[in-house]
Structure 1
Amino acid sequence: MYIDSHCHLNFPDLQAQLPDVLERMRAAGVGHALVVSVNLRDWPGLMALVERYPFLRASVGVHPDNDTEDDDGAEPTLDDLVSRAAHPKVVAIGETGLDYYRLSEPLEWQRERFRTHIRAAHATGLPLIIHTRAAAEDTLRLMREEKAPGGVMHCFTESWEVAQAAMELGFYISLSGIVTFKNAAQIQDVARKMPLDRLLIETDSPYLAPVPYRGKLNDPSRVIHVAEKIAELRGVPVSAIEEASAENYWRLFAKAAVPA
């Protein structure tokens, strides 16, 4: 069974065609998906979605690139996250992290938001889903300072050295459709070198559709193309990637294996 370890099935583009999306998942052999939270405003709708389907699980968190106005003018508190994480279908904290891509200088509230999420992971015992963009050094520094309890570096786009540092802190590395792109030499290097027991695969749908669908709407069925590219890069059968990534998912997100 393939598992999409990071998608946004609650986003409008996928919600508009949800029956077809779920059928494509089934036909492709994608038997489970983690629907990842990016704000608290939309969290009730996300939970209504995952509660309808036994093969879906959720996270709770606020994306680092969402400013406070996007989230009703208030920063997420530790209690906001911990109380929602008690839901039986919530298996992770995030996505969280740091994103400096559009910033002229780092924002302190973004760092504090990241710290709050790490503390929520400590309080709940749930793994973190970390987003980092143009901020690897600070992301790793805060992970060390707060003694981040483990999780996954989602949609990984950094160097092998950053991957090694994250794995030394107990984190998994999740690769997305970007690994199929022609200009993705750095990520492909990580895909070749990383130990299979730390690998997850994801779509980040509706974004980042893999080749041959690049530029089109993405959905969880296309996680198989991520697996196929990693298998090609490593010179192994795609079944090895399917099996290892699924085993790693259940190990990391242990709560997901509990019927809910």
Structure 2
Amino acid sequence: MLIDTHSHFDAGEFDADRPAAYARARAAGVGQQVVPAVSYAGWPNLKAVVARYAGLHAAYGLHPCYLAEHRPEHLAALKQWIERERPVAVGECGLDLYIESLDPALQEQFFLAQLRLARDYELPVIVHARRAVDQVLKCIRRIGSLRGVVHSYAGSLDQARRLRQLGFLVSLGGPLAYPRAERLHRLARELPLDGLLLETDAPDQPGPAHAGQRNEPAYLPEVLAELARLRGGDPAEIATATHANACRLFALPAIPQP
């Protein structure tokens, strides 16, 4: 059974057919999903969705792209949610230097605060790092004693190796299958398997087979197939390795609930 380590299954895009999308994922062999939050307002709905479907695991955090919605008091609330809800991770959090309207200094304040919470509660961090991997590395070093994953990784092989030295894995999804993603292809071939996770980032970032459509956790086997093709490896062995990586990082059960 595969684990989708980054799925926004609580998103409104799934409201019309969430049970059917869940069934498709299970039929495709996706037995578990890690569902990270993006803003304080969405935490209650995420909690409800995760409680409704076996094999879904919540992470709570404040995404940098929703910076305009975040308030300092949401950090205090996050601490309470961590203590009460026992999520598998803190996140999604991080830095986004692609969107120019997002204040980098304010982003960093929220990111560092969430890294401190992850350290204090000994939880992994789910990190968004768009055009910001070096800055994310600096923040991780500044706080220390952290572990986690940089999702939908788009940085360099060298940066990925430096992240691994700090206890962070990288996660690959639909963009891996695009022919022009040469840097991702090299990374997929050369990084040791113990540093990799699989994700969809549903409903976003579909692979080329579903370009322009809603992404789904059911498409995760396509990411696995592309990674196996690039590495020239056995998909079953890669599935086993990435499954073990996810279970270890997020303290997930090796066998999902029926």
TM-based fold match above 0.5:
yes
1:235 lines up with 2:223 in the alignment: no
Match of 1:257 among 240, 249, 253: 253
Counterpart Cα distance in 2 of 1:211 and 1:30: 20
Counterpart Cα distance in 2 of 1:148 and 1:66: 27
Structure 1: gaps spanning 5 or more residues: none
2:218 corresponds to: 221
1:203 corresponds to: 200
What SS does the corresponding residue of 2:88 show, helix, strand or coil?
Answer: strand
The verdict on how the C-alpha distance between 1:76 and 1:151 changes in structure 2, with shifts beyond 3 A counting, is farther
Q: Percent identity?
A: 35
The verdict on how the C-alpha distance between 1:146 and 1:213 changes in structure 2, with shifts beyond 3 A counting, is same
2:63 corresponds to: 63
RMSD: 1.8
Q: TM-score, normalised by structure 1?
A: 0.93
**How far 1:136 sits from its partner (Å)?**
1.7
**How far 1:257 sits from its partner (Å)?**
2.8
2:191 corresponds to: 194
**How far 1:54 sits from its partner (Å)?**
2.2
Counterpart Cα distance in 2 of 1:148 and 1:4: 25
1:90 corresponds to: 87
The verdict on how the C-alpha distance between 1:76 and 1:212 changes in structure 2, with shifts beyond 3 A counting, is farther
**How far 1:30 sits from its partner (Å)?**
0.6
Q: TM-score, normalised by structure 2?
A: 0.94
**How far 1:122 sits from its partner (Å)?**
1.1
What SS does the corresponding residue of 2:205 show, helix, strand or coil?
Answer: coil
1:124-159, CA deviations, whole angstroms, 9 ceiling, x for partnerless residues? 111000110111221111111111511001110111
**How far 1:162 sits from its partner (Å)?**
0.9
Counterpart Cα distance in 2 of 1:188 and 1:195: 13
The answer (yes or no) to whether the contact 2:95–2:104 under 8 Å persists in 1 is no
Counterpart Cα distance in 2 of 1:58 and 1:153: 17
**How far 1:13 sits from its partner (Å)?**
0.9
Match of 1:129 among 126, 129, 144: 126
Q: Which amino acid is 1:152 matched to? A: V
The answer (yes or no) to whether the contact 2:65–2:102 under 8 Å persists in 1 is no
What SS does the corresponding residue of 1:173 show, helix, strand or coil?
Answer: strand
2:18 corresponds to: 18
Q: Which amino acid is 2:20 matched to? A: D
**How far 1:61 sits from its partner (Å)?**
0.2
Counterpart Cα distance in 2 of 1:104 and 1:55: 37
**How far 1:77 sits from its partner (Å)?**
4.8
Counterpart Cα distance in 1 of 2:101 and 2:8: 28
The verdict on how the C-alpha distance between 1:89 and 1:119 changes in structure 2, with shifts beyond 3 A counting, is closer
